[in-house]
Amino acid sequence: MPDRHIVKSYDRDLEAIQALIMKMGGMVETAILEASQSLENRDEELAERVRANDSAVDELEERVNEEAARMLALRQPSAGDLRTVLTVMKISANLERVGDYAKNMAKRTGVLLQMAPIDGSSGAIRRMSMAVGGMLKDALDAYIQRDAELAEDVRLRDHEVDQMYNALFREFLTFMMEDPRNITACMHLHFIAKNIERMGDHVTSIAEQVIYLVTGEMPEDDRPKADRTAIEAPKV
Amino acid sequence: MPDRHIVKSYDRDLEAIQALIMKMGGMVETAILEASQSLENRDEELAERVRANDSAVDELEERVNEEAARMLALRQPSAGDLRTVLTVMKISANLERVGDYAKNMAKRTGVLLQMAPIDGSSGAIRRMSMAVGGMLKDALDAYIQRDAELAEDVRLRDHEVDQMYNALFREFLTFMMEDPRNITACMHLHFIAKNIERMGDHVTSIAEQVIYLVTGEMPEDDRPKADRTAIEAPKV
């Protein structure tokens, strides 16, 4: 039964890649949460650790790409299996980007710890990070369980992250106008907030891949639009 | 000669995909330049056009993905050909992201045109855009000609874009500190500058794909590090 043999080793290969994706996902989730923790607790050591850990995520992405390319070359997957392998590659690329944003956030935390803290900002940033971390966890669960409904829920939750970002943008503007000594810190904090908002976009993209994998169709782009600060001047 | 027949249709398929990539590249290059032009000339109509044109880029990316998946499924490419197809998919993903940044830039231009201009900023942003546009053109030329040397040159030029960004970051901080009425406009301008810097990163990633395609190895990450504002507090 050579066919069955091929099918089985294909499944085994795919499971091995999925295990890498899950490992990557766990590491990236930790990075998001620890990056915001390091900011809130003014913990430079933790920020340093988040920065250092990112190379392990990058390595995992490379391994996923290599394994996926090997599968494509050796197993000549059918249309459905091919879609799965390509999805896996896209998901790992998105995870790598989210990890990168967490690393950048930790880098900026190092800079921010040299300045006076801005009232209430680190709590708001931690809340945003937790929202994105939760979305990421659910997006990966949705992938493993091939659960399009859960993936759709993740996609809709990105709107809340966008709203948190928009509120923070206005808050930072106000702080800067009140006291020019806040400007440098607020510029960095704003970057961090924008990075988390972008993480949310990448997680949404993972959720959309899951929907595509399960239903065969990409979701319509009826999601409320991301960053309102780009299309309306904030009223401060 | 069935083998030869397969090889020929493979080449034809690949050429068709490469033509799509070139078309995408041309559109994205135009978008970068027109977005900065619309800001400099305070041309709202042009900004609107850049925003509207981005969906055509997105459609091209989808077509590249579909064609590439079809090739993988039908042609069972060899290791080298597989690498080419996967590279093409990555290049189109990068182009789509650059196009997205140009669209965001044009959106923000719409907002900025409602405010008083900030001295000298739009010229500096146009220069950054032109540098990235030139890098993009050369990265795609390097791809078509399989020219690893030209790709390496593109990769090194990204450092200049990073320096332009760092200089602008400091300039915007100064403007904001001098007069709080500049804060909102400078926040948007800073976003635009950061988006162009990110475009440069994506173009660099295209150049790295070309190097990988030609030499079989990704370049060592010895490139001078991107955004210095994240690791050292700017001295203003």
Which of the listed ranges A224-233, B1-10, B91-100 does the model predict with the highest average pLDDT? B91-100
How far apart are alpha carbons B196 and A11 in whole angstroms? 42
Q: Give the residue numbers in A contacting B (CB under 8 Å), as ranges.
A: 65, 69, 72-73, 76-79, 82-83, 86, 93, 104, 107-108, 110-111, 114-115, 169, 173, 176-177, 180, 183-184, 187-188, 190-191, 194, 227, 229-234, 236
Which positions in chain A touch B108 (Cβ < 8 Å)? 230
For B43, phi and psi rounded to 5 degrees? -105, 90
How far apart are alpha carbons B47 and B110 in whole angstroms? 7
Read off the pLDDT of residues A22-33 as tens digits, 9 standing for 90 and up: 999 999 999 999
For A51-66, letters b (16+ CB in 10 Å) and e give bebbeebeebbebbbe
DSSP B78: -
Q: Which CATH number fits domain B2-230: 3.40.50.1100, 3.40.50.620, 1.20.58.220, 2.60.40.10?
A: 1.20.58.220
**Do A231 and B111 make contact, defined as CB atoms within 8 angstroms?**
yes
Interface with chain A: mutation pick from B229, B232, B235, B236, highest number of A CBs within 10 Å:
B229
Nearest chain A CA: its distance from B56 CA (Å): 15
Stated as kind and residue range, the H or E segment containing B230 is: none
SS3 content of chain A, % helix, strand, coil (to 5): 85, 0, 15
Q: Give the pLDDT band of residue B234 (cuts 50, 70, 90).
A: very low
Please, where are the H alpha helices in chain A?
2-40, 44-75, 79-112, 121-144, 148-178, 183-215
Read off the pLDDT of residues B132-155 as tens digits, 9 standing for 90 and up: 999 999 999 999 999 999 999 999
Whether the complex's predicted ipTM surpasses the cut of 0.85? no
Share of chain B above pLDDT 70, in %: 90
- In this model, does residue B225 exceed pLDDT 80? no
| B194 → chain A, closest CA residue | A191
Of A107, A187, A229, the CB nearest to B173: A187
How far apart are alpha carbons A185 and A193 in whole angstroms? 12
How far apart are alpha carbons A45 and A34 in whole angstroms? 11
Q: Which residues contact A15 (CB under 8 A, 6 or more apart)?
A: none
Tokens of B131: 């540098």
Which positions in chain B touch A220 (Cβ < 8 Å)? none
**Do A233 and B176 make contact, defined as CB atoms within 8 angstroms?**
no
Read off the pLDDT of residues B181-207 as tens digits, 9 standing for 90 and up: 999 999 999 999 999 999 999 999 999
Q: CA-based Rg of chain A, rounded to a whole angstrom?
A: 20
